[in-house]
Amino acid sequence: MRRTLPTIEQFVAGIRSANRVLLGQAITLVESSRPEHQALARQVIARLLEEKLTPSFRVAVTGSPGVGKSTFIEALGTYLTAQGLRVAVLAIDPSSAVSQGSILGDKTRMEKLSTSPLAFIRPSPSGDSLGGVARKTRETILLVEAAGFDTVLVETVGVGQSEYAAYSMTDAFVLLLLPGAGDELQGIKRGIVEMADLLVVNKADSDRVKLANQARAHYLNATHLLPTKPSQWAPQVLACSALENTGIEAVWKALASFREFTENNGYFAENRRKQAAHWLKEALEEGLKDQFYKHPVVKAKLKELEQLVLNDKMSPFSAADEILSKFLPPSPEV
C-alpha cells in the first residue's frame, strides 16, 4: 500500500505547531532525490516563509575528528535548553552517504539532548556531492526555524570543504581544538581558522587543564596575527571541558556577545542577505548545469565532440560553442 503524504496545509500547520513527526517528514522531502518531493518541500517552505519567523541564531561547530564535537554539542545544547531555548542540531557530512547508520549514531552520541522536548537532532543528509548535502541542510534550517527552533547548531566533520558550506549558512563559527597543539594548528587549514569567531580548546579536564591553558594562550596570540574579520569582531579563545561540563556557559556568553556586537554594527543582517544571495546563485548555476548535462541533445553532441577535442582535432572552445548552440533558447521570449 502506497503511503499518502500529508497535504501542504497539514505540513504548514503541523510545523508551525512544532509537530516533530511532520517536521521530520518535511525534512525527508527536502532530502529526497525525487523531484516531486523536492517541489512539495519548496511549496511548504514558501508557505512557511510567508509569516514572519522568530529571530534565530545559526552557529557552525567544527574541529578535527576526535576533538569531541558531539560531546560539546550535547553539553552546549543541554545548557541552552535549560535556559528555555529551542535547539536544533543539524550536520553537514558529505561522507554520510557511505555510513548509513549515522542516524542512530548521532542520537546515541547525544543521549541526553536527544530526549529533550526542546531539542531536535537530525543527522547529515546524504548526497552524491557536498553541494547537494549542503543545499539540503540549508533548506532544513528554514524548516526547523519555522517550527520554532531559535538556535540552530550545524556540525561539520572538520575536514575538507564542508566547513565552507557551513560557514556560508551560519551567523557564527566555532572551531574546537585539542589541548597541547604546539605550533601546528592541528592540521587545520589557515582559511578555517580565519573563519572562526570563537576558538574553543576542549578537553580542558583532569591532567590536561594546564596544557589546555597553554594552548589557549598560544591560539590567542595566533588570532592576533589574523587579518581583521569583515564583521570587525575580534575572535575569542576559550577553554572548556564538554565532558565535565565546565566552561560551557562562557562559550555561550561569548557567542551571545558576538551576536549582540554584529547585530549592532549591522553585520548580522548584512551577512544573512549575502548568504541568501550566495545560495540563490549556487542554486541557479547548479540547476542550470544539471539541466544542461541531462538534456538528450547536449548529451549526444557532447559525446560526439568530446572525442574530437581529446584527440586534438577540435578546440575545446569551438566544441563548446557548437554544443551550447543546440541547447540555448534561440531567441529571448519577452
Q: How many Å apart are CA 107 and CA 244, to the nearest integer?
A: 20
Does 318 contact a second copy by CB under 8 A? yes
Q: What is the DSSP letter of 120?
A: E
Query: Site size for a second copy, by CB under 8 A?
Result: 52
276 binds a second copy (CB under 8 A): yes
257-261: which pairs have CB atoms within 8 A and are 24 or more residues apart? Answer: 258/172, 258/197, 258/198, 258/233, 259/57, 259/171, 259/172, 261/231, 261/232, 261/233
Q: Which of 132, 213, 245, 282 binds a second copy (CB under 8 A)?
A: 282
3-state secondary structure 134-174: HHHHHHHHHHHHHCCCCEEEEEECCCCCHHHHHHCCCCEEE
Contact flag: residue 49 with a second copy (CB under 8 A): yes
Q: Is 46 in the site for a second copy (CB under 8 A)?
A: yes
Q: Where is 227: in which H helix or E strand?
A: none
CB of 283 to a second copy, least distance (A): 3
Amino acid at 90: L
Cell reading at 228: 581583521
Q: Per CB under 8 A, does 283 bind a second copy?
A: yes
- Is 317 a binding residue for a second copy by CB under 8 A? The answer is yes
266 binds a second copy (CB under 8 A): no
Interface stretch with a second copy, choices 17-25, 115-123, 213-221, 280-288 (CB under 8 A): 280-288
Nearest approach, Cβ of 289 to a second copy (angstroms)? 6
Q: How far is the CB of 95 from a second copy (least distance, A)?
A: 21
The answer to whether 69 and 176 are in contact (CB under 8 A) is yes
Q: Which of residues 135-154 bind a second copy (CB under 8 A)?
A: 135, 138-139, 142
**CA pair distance 316, 308, nearest whole angstrom:** 9
Return the number of the residue (193 or 239) whose C-beta is nearest a second copy. Answer: 193
Name the site residues for a second copy (rule: CB under 8 A): 39, 42, 45-46, 49-50, 53, 135, 138-139, 142, 272-273, 276-277, 279-280, 282-285, 287-289, 291-292, 295-297, 302, 305-306, 309-310, 312-321, 323-324, 327-329, 332-334
